[in-house]
Amino acid sequence: MVTEGYHLEFERPIVELERRLAELRRVSRDNKKVNFSAELLAMEHKLTQLKSATYASLTAWQRVQLARHPQRPFTLDYIQLLFEGFVELHGDRLFGDDKAIVGGLATFEGQPLLVLGHQKGRDTKENLRRNFGSAHPEGYRKALRLMQLAAKRRLPILIFIDTPGAYPGIGAEERGQAHSIACNLREMMRLESPILIIVIGEGGSGGALGIGVGDRVCILEHAYYSVISPEGCAAILWKDRKRAPEAAEALKLTAQDLVKAGFVDESISEPLGGAHRDPSATAAALKPVIRAFLEATRDVPPDILLQRRYQRFRRLGVYEDSVEHSLQTPRGEPSSHS
């Protein structure tokens, strides 16, 4: 079970100062004859400054670690904090019910919609049941079945992404993992319902893309979205998974990098220290984003919605043409570089 005292390596100075502050508060409560208010105020100010400085200068690898924090809110946590009347729907009607993806009908401020997303576990037992948030083909088929159900009723669709990647096991491949993801990519592009995507933790490769086609894609401040994990990238490029921090920088996978490149539309701020520090505040930050999306897409005709979605993805992958001038020189004419 994850303990309350879990912290990341770069958070150690913060944790130590928090412990000292807690001890000083305890001494202050027990000793009424001495006034510790000045010391408490100074230490609280120092702690705030240390937190601000630490989390304002995180490396890409440190943000990946925050995105994987075991106490970070998952899809079901946000469903409980944001929606009313959630009714979970199960199964792909072909093989089984993949617990790594959850979804169902709910209401947001009176607006009915479909909400779904990846779900991880809090402890080893639940993680095994949820397969650590890595979906099988039946998970992607379940997601598509629910989205098609929502599209029939013209209900908006909200999707939370949080997975290290699709499950790569033999059984998943035998049951058509690649086909299920490819089918979802094609069919989500055609769904006549507004689709909002929010990356809340890990956005790993095809596992994320399998439910990642939408009209607007947002990402939490300390989440990441990448074609491959930093460890996988390091293993392929350098045959050394220990170079994952270097790979994380090269992949440009942070929310800030993704907004700059145009792969996601908006980065959503998290509480100081990460979403796990205050899940309620994080959910509160998501509310205006969801509300604005529902209002903006409420009266958009389906054909316009689909055209905009298509154009959004057509704009991705822009590159610079760096052909040398000598290669552009007409045949028979001397190059200016010769």
Q: What is the CATH number of the domain that holds 137?
A: 3.90.226.10
Within this chain, do residues 256 and 295 fall inside the same structural domain, yes or no?
Answer: yes
Torsion on CA atoms 222, 226, 230, 234, rounded to nearest 10: -160
- Same domain? For 170 and 247 the reply is yes
The distance from CA 197 to its chain's CA centroid, rounded to whole angstroms, is 9
Do residues 264 and 312 lie in contact, with contact meaning Cβ atoms separated by under 8 Å?
no
- Tens digits of per-residue pLDDT, 89-146? 999 999 999 999 999 999 999 999 999 999 999 999 999 999 999 999 999 999 999 9
Q: What is the pTM of this model?
A: 0.86
**Which one-letter DSSP state was computed for residue 330?**
P
Q: Are residues 138 and 183 in the same domain?
A: yes
Asked whether residue 279 is domain-assigned, the answer is yes
**38 and 80, same structural domain?**
no
* pLDDT tens, residue by residue, 177-193: 999 999 999 999 999 99
Q: Torsion angle, CA of 225/231/233/237, rounded to 10 degrees?
A: 160
Q: Are residues 156 and 262 in the same domain?
A: yes
- DSSP, residue by residue, 216-279: EEEEETT-EEESS-HHHHHHHHHS-GGGHHHHHHHHT-BHHHHHHHTSSSEEE---TT-GGG-H
Share of the chain above pLDDT 70, in %: 92
Q: Decide: 18 and 50 in contact? Cβ < 8 Å.
A: no
Q: What is the pLDDT of residues 273-293, one digit of tens each?
A: 899 999 999 999 999 999 999
Q: Report yes or no on 15 lying in a domain.
A: yes
3-state secondary structure of 290: helix
Identify whether 338 is part of a domain.
no
Read off the tokens for 68.
């994987």
Question: How many domains, in total, are found in the chain?
Answer: 2
The boundaries of the domain holding residue 26 are: 9-49
Same domain, 23 and 113: no
Which pLDDT band holds residue 40 (cuts at 50, 70, 90)? confident
- Write out pLDDT tens, residues 258-276: 999 889 999 999 999 899 9
* pLDDT range class, residue 35, cuts 50, 70, 90: confident
